[in-house]
Each structure stands twice: as C-alpha cells, then as structure tokens.
Structure 1
Amino acid sequence: MAGGWLDFIGAALSARRRRLYVAARMPAVAARKPSALLKSCAGLGITSLVCRYAQAYEIEIDTRAGHIAVAVLKTGAFQPEVMEVLAAALGDRRPLFVNVGANIGTTLLNAHRRGFARLVGIEPVARNFALLEGNMARNGIDARLHRMALGRAAGTLEINLDPRNAGGHSFHALPGAQGTERVAVGRLDALDLAEPFVLWMDTEGFEAEVLAGAGPELLARHCAAICVELSPLHSGPGPALEVLDLIAGLFPRLTDGAGAAVDVPALRARIAAGAVGQIDLVGLRVPAGPGPAAGDGAGKGAGKNARPGVLTAP
C-alpha cells in the first residue's frame, strides 16, 4: 500500500511518471471505476488517453468527454448497439455513411466495424475535431472530414461548450456552459451527396436546423436510412416534432435505438407534453435485408466483453 501511494505521489510530480502511472493501472481500473479514473486524470493534468476500441481499433479519448469516455473505458465502445440496429435492418453497406456531430469518431468506427467503407464526418468543435482526425489516421481509415457544423444557412455561429461532457456542446442554451467557440456552418446539400447515403445525426437539439439545410429533395431522393438522436431537451418540443414528422413521412419503417417499432402518435404526444428528453430514432425505407452483407458479424459483442488496455496516455 505504501509503495502504491509513493507511486501516486511521484506521478503527481512528474509528467512522464503521470503517463506511466496511468498507463500501468488503466486496464485494471478502467472497466471497474471509469469515472474515478477520469477524475484522477483530471487531477493529474492528463487530458486524453489512448485505449482499445471495439476490440479492433485504437482511439484517443478526451478525459473530459463525460459519458462517452465512461462508456469506452467501461465497455470498450460507445453505443454499438444502435449501429447494430441500423446496419442489420439496412443490410446494404454500399451507401455513403454521413455522421453529423462526429465528435471524436466513435460512430464512424462503429460504422466501419459494421462494413461501411465510405465515411464522412462533420464536427465543428476544434478539440473534438483534432481527436477525430487523429483517430481516423491512427486506424488507417480514409474518411472525408469537415470541421464545421451543418445548419439552415451557411455562415458562423457560437456553440456553447459543456465542460463536463465533450459530446454535449450545443447551439442551444446550456446550463453550466463554460465559454463558447465560434464555428463555421455549412448546409447538408452543399456536401455533394448525389448518391445513396446513410445520415447519422447527434447534434444536441440542432436536428431541425441540419435537416432544413438538406433542401427539398435531397433526403427524399438519396437518403437510404437515418439515425437521429432527437433532443427536445435542448431544442424544445416544437423543433423536435418537426423532425419527427419529417422522418416519419420519409421513412416508413421507424424504430427506436433498440429496434422497437415507434408509435408515432404516442411519441408526438409525449414530446409535446415535455416527457421526452432525448431518444434515438432509426428510419429506413427498405425492409431488413435477406441475409448478412459485407461486414456483418464483425461487430457482434463489441461493447459487451471488450476490455480496453492503454497504449499511451499523452
């Protein structure tokens, strides 16, 4: 025990020993007490860690990334089960995969794991984008990455920064926000998506604005499937209902993130009553595929039994 405390004190005094200390102990601690590990990293001035992801990749996570970092450390992945629902129902992996609000790249890695080979990532916040770029490069993934947000009109906007959750930055009012960052904004229909694509959105209440930038025909003609984290918690009921109605009108098959069919009138009533904070919605035009396609099965079990091991702790 005394040796452990001496190691900890030495780690606190030396940047090099901080990295070695965390790297040596993370595999044993991460899965059991990820929040405690992240808190210790904050105290030691360690802002990021590199660990295994989905038993197939390496990923650098922000130690201030909140529930994303906790999930990666504890289970080895972040929301792979939602990707399973979409990929299994869609069947076809040929469409372009477009991730709006790509954060540090967990969704793009999940998509790649499930066989999507052509990836586009949109992320406006500088810190997240730097990690996103690095995570694609470290895994040899050639993704088209854009440092910007998407919205109704091109220009710039101030995004509120969440100090406790790097996946929680929002253009809407954010209790406890610490500062803002001015970011570029483009339109979805300016991305040259004149081919089938899958649209995955995690934009903390900006969903209606993103879809307004798609133009009147883009989604109807080319969007094969959509996954949206709908966030009336941030946007309020009105914009969330607009998004729900648009998705339900375009995609006859609508499920939640667990694959259960959505009762649209009932969900509308709950959103209008303020009873829904956030919900994942998956919309598809086509029935489930007849069998496994390229990449099927590659991600089975990811996030359940994976145990990340630190490769480096910069």
Structure 2
Amino acid sequence: MGEFDLIAHYFKRPARRSPLGVGDDCALLAPAAGMQLAVSSDMLVEGRHFLSTVDTARLGHKALAVNLSDLAACGAKPLAFTLALALPAVDEAWLAGFSRGMFALAEAHDCELVGGDTTRGPLNICITVFGEVPAGAALLRSGARPGDELWVSGTLGDARLALEVFRGTLDLPAELFAMARMRMEQPTPRVALGLALRGIASAAADVSDGLLGDLGHILRASGVGATVDADAATGCIDLLAHPVAASADLPLALLRTCALSGGDDYELVFTAPAAAHASVLQAGRDAQTRVRCIGRIDATPGLRIVDAQGAPLDQHFSSFDHFSA
C-alpha cells in the first residue's frame, strides 16, 4: 500500500468545513463573522508519550484528545484538524485501530480532518487543531487576579498511578489499574466545560505536564501567586472512590505527588472571582463535569502548598519537563 492509498483508505472523509478535503496542498478554513481562530499543535512520540503496547484505538483517541484539551483551555469550539504521521511501515491493523479511535472522538466533537502529511520514520504523531471563539472571549493564562478562587476539573493523578505501575514502582489491584490505565491512555478533553466557562473564568490552562507545572504558567502570565490545598487536589483522584482502593494502601505522599505533579490528566486548571463560585459550579453541571475548588490566587508571587488544615507542606513536587526528565 502506497502513501496516497493509505490516506485514501484510512483518513479520507467527505469534506465539510474545508472545500478541498485532504486532497490538496492546503486546507481552507474561514471562521464565522466575529470569531477568532484558535490553533494548537501537539506531538506524540512513541516511548515518550505512549507505550508500544497501547491499544491503537486508544492511541488514536489520545492523539486528538490532547489537542482538543488545548482548545478547551481556551474556551474554543473545535472545527478541524490536520494529522502528520510518521510510520516505520504500513501496518493495516494498526492504521485501522488508530483511525477508528481518532475519528470516533472527532465525530463526537464535530471536528473534521482537513489535511496533513504521512512519511516513513520512527512512529510519531503530530496533530494541529483549529477552533473558533468569539473575538475577545478566549480564556487566557494572563487573567488571574488576587482573590480569585483556584479550580480544577475532573480527575487528577490517576494517569500517574498507571505510569508508576508500568515503571514497576507500584502494584495496584487489577480493577484499579484498569481504571488508571484508561485515564492515561484515553483522556477526556473538557471541551464542554471550556465553553461553559467563557465569561466566568478569569484564566485557564490544560493540565498536561502536571497540575503545579501548568498552574505555574497561569501564575507567571498573570503576575500573581497561589495557595494550593494539596489534600483537596488529592481528593480529585477517582481511584480513591473505588471500593477496593482502601486495600491498595496507597501512601498519602504518593497520592499528593500524583495529584499535584502527575502528567497526562488533560483536565482544566482555572481561576474565577470568588463571587462567581455558584456560576462555576453551574458550569460544571451544564458540562456534566465535576469541578473542585482547591485554593486561591494571592497577590504575593510564588506557590504555597498546604494541607487540609492550612499547614505548609515540605514535600517537594516537580512536574514533567521534556528536556529535564
């Protein structure tokens, strides 16, 4: 199977948003009147972002999900995406699973594949996604203000727990490991919540490299500091609600590390004025996504980590960095 046969068989779909589909040198997109384009690219490299043993349908899902998560953090509605794919060889079973998982998520968000590239090489997946947001309404990292509440969506730390099992540093009961692995390999982009938070949240970022690291982007862009309740964040670990979690006897220090520093969550960390507390909760209900307040924004720069009683923690937390990890 040649390159263009591969594209036609696994990736060509009827064109809707781009009149040229995937068969020309460029895609053509026109945002609606009064809208801005939101554009983001993410790359997934085998051995760095995913394991060779991952189910290919889950990998196709995740490849697009990590990009949709960026749109969610901006409050943008997905429109279309391009796919650049390097393959060691043509593996039709791999391609069938990958494209099935990717297109299932694309269809769920009405997001159209409009172009890209394929080549032979080490397995590498790069997607660029396009969304639209009303001019001036995008959620940015630079809007946090002292007194704002600090929130997170969904579940934190579960993906990191799965990674620790793969690393051989942790044993989990089979049921818990299956849940954690699902969160690691098939995250849920919080697009609906991002849309619901427009006009409510003051700043937002997606949690990809770890909560504290991604919160740090907001703090630097906004010129503020924050106090984070480590135990409130740890309460966002979904596995802890499972009936067999108590038997796993997971150390509190490990749980705090997973919640605060674990990557691959693809949740939203965001800020909102304290007066908007009820509105944030309603946005979560509208988006059918759990939201939890885990701290506050401070005028004093820096990050302060405390326990549920407000006592400072001396535990060190560090998020993922591609060039230091």
Q: TM-score, normalised by structure 1?
A: 0.26
Q: TM-score, normalised by structure 2?
A: 0.25
